Amino acid sequence: MQNTPHQRNIFLVGFMGAGKSSVGKALAKILGIRFLDLDDAVEKELKIPIAEIFARFGEEYFRDAESAALKSVSIHEAQVVATGGGAALREENWQAMRRSGGVTVYLRAPAEALWNRVKGNQSRPLLRVENPFERLVEMLDSRIPLYEKADIAVNTEGLAPESVASLIARELLDIYPGQ
Ligand code: S3P
């Protein structure tokens, strides 16, 4: 028997500042399931903040930890998972999300909107460079084709997290009617 959306895992993907955590919390509330943040899971596992993981061990080490966390999260069901913005980079991560019977949802936003949400926040090591906005645009451009692999894409610009969550919940009902 097919899972209902409430049992299915929902993985939110998208760039830093797309609102994956705030939308994820709101969506989990609507669907009555648990919310999990993948960055938090990695930090809990390694017991140090992400910026420090990058600084001490480098990006590849972080990516390995992120993939491992995604795999162990994917064993469970009925959860909304906010992935990190770079989780879309590895094919093995997409496979883990799909294997778990999960639905992937891309939170789309233009570079300016993302920038407005991340500027001034020092917790993202990849944007701690001399020209962070230019870096953001470059990274976003190279990642868009990956994010677009998601099952559902939602335009988030100008919308509150609760509105985005309602849109996603409605899309899920369209895809899995009567559930
Ligand atoms: C990253 C995004 C961050 C975090 C890390 C790397 C990325 O997560 O995983 O700093 O490569 O885009 P958020 O998208 O939750 O900020």
Structure token digits, residue 141: 């451009």
Give residue 157's pLDDT.
Answer: 93
Nearest residue (by CA) to ligand 1, atom 4, is 84
For residue 5, what pLDDT is reported? 54
Contact predicate 157/113, CB 8 Å: yes
DSSP state of 125: G
Compute, in angstroms, the gap from residue 178 CA to the centroid of ligand 1.
35
- Name the pairing type of β-strands 34-37 and 10-13: unpaired
CA distance 93 to 33: 22
Task: Tell me, in angstroms, the distance from the centre of ligand 1 to residue 131's CA.
Answer: 18
pLDDT of res. 173? 87
- 101 alpha carbon to ligand 1 midpoint, in Å? 24
- Residue 40: predicted pLDDT: 97
State if residue 85 touches ligand 1 by the CB under 6 angstroms criterion: yes
Ligand 1 atom showing the smallest separation from residue 83 Cα = 15
Give the whole-angstrom CA distance, residue 145 versus residue 124. Answer: 22
| Average pLDDT along the chain, 179 residues, taken 10 residues at a time | 68 98 97 96 96 96 98 94 98 96 96 94 89 97 98 96 97 79
Q: Contact 27/169 with Cβ under 8 angstroms?
A: yes
Gap between the Cα atoms of 54 and 60, Å rounded = 9
Question: How big, in percent rounded to 5, are the helix, strand and coil portions of the chain?
Answer: 55, 10, 35
pLDDT on residue 2: 46
Distance 16 CA to ligand 1 centre (A): 6
